[in-house]
C-alpha cells in the first residue's frame, strides 16, 4: 500500500504571497490532518478533515485554511505569508475521524518564506 | 500552552544499553498516548501506544510506561541499536479532539 504523499517537498516563497500544499492519504483513509513543525515547538495541529468536512481546528489564524476533496485528497492554503510561517508542514491520514486511530504521516513539505 | 512536554532535547546512549525517553503532560483529560519516531527527511512513524487505563505496554524492544498520578510517560528501548537514532515525539490524545505533540527528543545511539 502506498504511503501518504505530499507535494511539493520543498517550496520557497516571499512574504505576502500565498501557497497551496497538497496531501494524498493512504488509499482507504478518509481522515487527513495537517500539522506545522517548527524547531522548539514540536508538531502543532492545524486542522482535521473527514469526508470533505473540517472536524477539528487548532489555534492558527484564518490565513491558514484547507479543504478535502471527494477522493480524500486534501490541500492546505496559507495566504499573506509571513516569515514565521517557515516550517515543515506535515499531513497525516487515518482510517477514521476524531483521532480514534493512529495517524500515518507523509514526509512533509518544507516551506521557506523570505 | 504546551500540554505535552519533552524536557530533554537530546540523549546519547551506548549501543546495547537502555534508552529512556521521558514525557510529561498537564491535561488529565488525555486518554491515549503514543510515541512516534522521526528520521530526517521523513514523516513521523508510529512506534507504540498506551491507553490511559493501562500502566505498561510492551512491543519487542520498546516498552511504554504511564504514571497517571505523576502525569508522566516514558519510553524504554532495550537494547538500544544504532538504527534507533532518530527524533522521538510523544503525543497525547483527547478522544474526538486532537493529538498534542511534544517538542521531541533526539536520540543518538553510539556504536
Interval A72-99: pLDDT, tens: 999 999 999 999 999 999 999 988 776 6
Nearest chain B alpha carbon to A39: B103
Radius of gyration of chain B (CA): 13
B98/A48 CB distance under 8 A: yes
Give contacts of A56 with chain B, Cβ < 8 Å. Answer: 97-98
| pLDDT of the residue at A98 | 63
User: What distance in Å separates the CA atoms of residue B35 and residue B49, rounded to the nearest whole number?
Assistant: 6
B103/A41 CB distance under 8 A: yes
Nearest chain B alpha carbon to A5: B43
- Strand A10-13 to strand A109-113: parallel, antiparallel, or no bridges (unpaired)? parallel
Chain A contact for B63 (CB, 8 A cutoff): no
Chain A contact for B104 (CB, 8 A cutoff): yes
User: What distance in Å separates the CA atoms of residue B29 and residue B69, rounded to the nearest whole number?
Assistant: 13
Which regions of chain A does DSSP assign to beta strands (E)? Answer: 5-7, 10-13, 19-24, 31-38, 42-50, 53-57, 64-68, 74-78, 87-94, 104-105, 109-113
Question: Torsions phi, psi of B83, nearest 5?
Answer: -65, -10
pLDDT in single tens digits along all 111 residues of chain B? 689 999 999 999 999 999 999 999 999 999 999 999 999 888 999 999 999 999 999 999 999 999 999 999 999 999 999 999 999 999 998 877 688 999 999 999 999
Q: Which three cell numbers stand for residue A31?
A: 481522515
Q: Which three cell numbers stand for residue B85?
A: 537514532
Cis peptide leading into residue A103 (ω within 30°): no
Give A59 to chain B, closest Cα distance, Å: 11
Select from B96, B85, B98, B89 the least CA-distant residue to B64: B89
Domains, chain B, with CATH or none: 4-110 (2.60.40.10)
Give contacts of B4 with chain A, Cβ < 8 Å. Answer: 42
Question: SS3 for A13?
Answer: strand
Which residues does residue B59 pair with via DSSP β-bridges, in sequence order? Answer: B62
Which of B5, B23, B88, B98 would best serve as a mutation to test chain A binding (most A beta carbons within 10 A)? B98
pLDDT in single tens digits along all 114 residues of chain A? 679 999 999 999 999 999 999 999 999 999 999 999 988 788 999 999 999 999 888 889 999 999 999 999 999 999 999 999 999 999 999 887 766 677 899 999 999 999
User: What distance in Å separates the CA atoms of residue B43 and residue A107, rounded to the nearest whole number?
Assistant: 4
B97/A42 CB distance under 8 A: no
Contacts of B58 (CB under 8 A, 6+ apart): none
Residue with cell 512506534: B47
Amino acid at each position: 500500500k502506498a504511503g501518504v504523499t505530499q507535494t511539493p517537498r520543498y517550496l520557497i516563497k516571499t512574504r505576502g504571497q500565498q501557497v497551496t500544499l497538497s496531501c494524498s492519504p493512504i488509499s482507504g483513509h478518509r481522515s487527513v490532518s495537517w500539522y506545522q513543525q517548527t524547531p522548539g515547538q514540536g508538531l502543532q495541529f492545524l486542522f482535521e478533515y473527514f469526508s470533505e468536512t473540517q472536524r477539528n481546528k487548532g489555534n492558527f489564524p484564518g490565513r491558514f485554511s484547507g479543504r478535502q476533496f471527494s477522493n480524500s485528497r486534501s490541500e492546505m492554503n496559507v495566504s499573506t505569508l509571513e516569515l514565521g510561517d517557515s516550517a515543515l508542514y506535515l499531513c497525516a491520514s487515518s482510517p477514521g475521524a476524531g483521532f480514534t486511530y493512529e495517524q500515518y504521516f507523509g514526509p512533509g513539505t518544507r516551506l521557506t518564506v523570505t | 500552552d504546551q500540554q505535552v512536554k519533552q524536557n530533554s532535547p537530546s540523549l546519547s546512549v551506548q549501543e546495547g544499553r537502555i534508552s529512556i525517553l521521558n514525557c510529561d503532560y498537564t491535561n488529565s483529560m488525555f486518554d491515549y498516548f503514543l510515541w512516534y519516531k522521526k528520521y530526517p527527511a521523513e514523516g513521523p512513524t508510529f512506534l507504540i501506544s498506551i491507553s490511559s487505563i493501562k500502566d505498561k505496554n510492551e512491543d519487542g524492544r520498546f516498552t511504554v510506561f504511564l504514571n497517571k498520578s505523576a502525569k508522566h510517560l516514558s519510553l524504554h528501548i532495550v537494547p538500544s541499536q544504532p538504527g534507533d537514532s532518530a527524533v522521538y515525539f510523544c503525543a497525547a490524545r483527547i478522544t474526538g479532539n486532537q493529538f498534542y505533540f511534544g517538542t521531541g527528543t533526539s536520540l543518538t545511539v553510539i556504536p
